[in-house]
Amino acid sequence: MLDIVPVPYQGDPLSYFQALRQRPGAVLLDSGRPLAPGGRFDIMASDPLDSLEVDHEGNSFNSRGQAVAGNAFAAQQRLLNRLPECTIDSELPFLGGLIGYWSYDLGRHLEPIGQQAHQVVSLPLARVGLYDWALIQDHELEQSWLVASPERRRQVEQWLRTPTQTDAFQLTSDFTANLSAEQYQQRFAAVQRYISAGDCYQINLAQRFSAGYRGDLWQAYQYLRQATPTPFAGYMAWQHGHNHQAILSLSPERFIECRHSCVETRPIKGTRPRGATPQQDAALAHELTSSLKDRAENVMIVDLLRNDLGRVCQPGSVQVPQLCGLESYANVHHLVSVIRGQLSADTTPLQLLEAAFPGGSITGAPKVRAMQIIDELEPDQRSAYCGSLGYLDIRGHMDTSIAIRSLVADAGQLHIWGGGGLVADSNGAEEYAETLAKIGHLMTALITPQ
């Protein structure tokens, strides 16, 4: 039996998760409140009943190291089906189910992408846990609940009474890029040749920065959250043998939400920095909304995502209620579109995720050819960057992010990527500068913590 029990409301999830973060399989899906606009729910959990990891050959393994048949999404569906059916009438987003991440490189096992880029990061291609409890905060209602069986509830209440110590975090080297400015421009020129030849009409090109670190990644996440609060953030950390691995995501972008079979995706294309004064800020926002190039980038991805959703949604149900709307965050303005559809009756949310994965806003278009070009031009695989973090509830509710503005910890190194969509009239110097602008404040937050 599942109970929904009120617990004291907190303005942000940090104090609750502080007590849970060292539990096995601890996960935080963070709305960024009270600093970020737009986010509503925080979801925290730990101690999953079981978990699945997908290795770089596409094979799935459970928490006991046993191989699980089928591709990643089919194996995850079978894991989800182990939970009993839930008939509770609740508007809470999560009453038990899967929480985890799906890396960009999982797409190599869905489409004929190739294998030219080097594997630098050893994180699994996907890692999801099966959770039978969660602590959920609703910042709109300013209420919090513990969703758990009576037995689980007693365990969680004990864990919450035992907060952990946060240790210091420090970088041990400067961030260095895997591409020089000259090498980026060579790849920019290659993209332009592909566009001129008709291979594609948009490519998302990224570069990776890496630095050594020591200390507590939870402290690092708090520095990043303070510097750039976002509504689709998340923190997941675990041990692989003696190797500490983690994802610290400060994403502003939703990938796919599904509730009551209603599907929504919100691609971001088009970025400007925030201004130092209200007048400058307004001018930059106007520059973005009136930019034909940025609007064209956005519309290209809207068309791609309409096609992706059309593969699994009811015919005629896919609509675009918002095209190139302005949304402003702590450090940047973005153009954001909204695409909605009605999921077909015979399709599960995991099949929806598989059909649209990875998100078109971070590949380019057409998607498969764009991913092949990315594999050729980017020297290293992307790991969790441009993949997704999120949950899938036993009732069929799902919400996932696009893991941009995200760091990956592996083998004593922190990796962060910055990228952008390139089209025929892109300017190489401006695009290179944009890759730095998108993540510079995150690197600075770790170099000089506030």
Residue type, 430: E
Closest CA relative to residue 253, chosen from 237, 240, 269: 269
Q: What mean pLDDT value characterizes the chain?
A: 93
pLDDT value at position 37? 74
Among candidate residues 53, 253, 354, 434, the one labeled active-site is 253
Q: How far is the CA of 450 from the CAs of 195, 224, 227, 247, 442, in angstroms?
A: 43, 10, 9, 21, 12
Residue numbers of the domain that contains 93: 3-447
Spatial distance between the Cα atoms of 349 and 361, rounded to a whole number of angstroms: 20
CA atoms within 13 A on the CB side of 251: 30
Work out the average pLDDT over 3-20.
94
Number of domains in the chain: 1
Task: Name the more confident of 267 and 9.
Answer: 9
Quick one: 87 exposed, middle or buried, by C-beta within 10 A (0-12, 13-18, 19+)? exposed
pLDDT value at position 450? 57
pLDDT value at position 203? 95
pLDDT in tens, 283-334: 999 999 999 888 988 998 899 899 999 999 999 999 999 999 998 877 788 8
In this structure, what DSSP letter does residue 166 have?
A: P
Spatial distance between the Cα atoms of 374 and 117, rounded to a whole number of angstroms: 9
Q: What's the whole-model pTM score?
A: 0.94
Closest CA relative to residue 17, chosen from 142, 144, 180: 144
Residue pair 5/150 in contact (Cβ under 8 Å)? The answer is: no
Closest CA relative to residue 178, chosen from 416, 342, 448, 429: 416
Whether 142 has a pLDDT exceeding 70, the answer reads yes
pLDDT in tens, 371-407: 999 999 999 999 999 999 999 999 999 999 999 999 9
Closest CA relative to residue 308, chosen from 277, 250, 265: 265
Among candidate residues 53, 85, 140, 269, the one labeled active-site is 269
CA atoms within 13 A on the CB side of 108: 25
Least reliable range by pLDDT among 92-96, 125-129, 295-299:
295-299
> Is there a catalytic annotation at residue 431?
no
pLDDT in tens, 26-41: 999 999 988 877 789 9
CATH assignment at residue 225: 3.60.120.10
Residue the block writes with tokens 């894991």: 79
> Is there a catalytic annotation at residue 438?
no
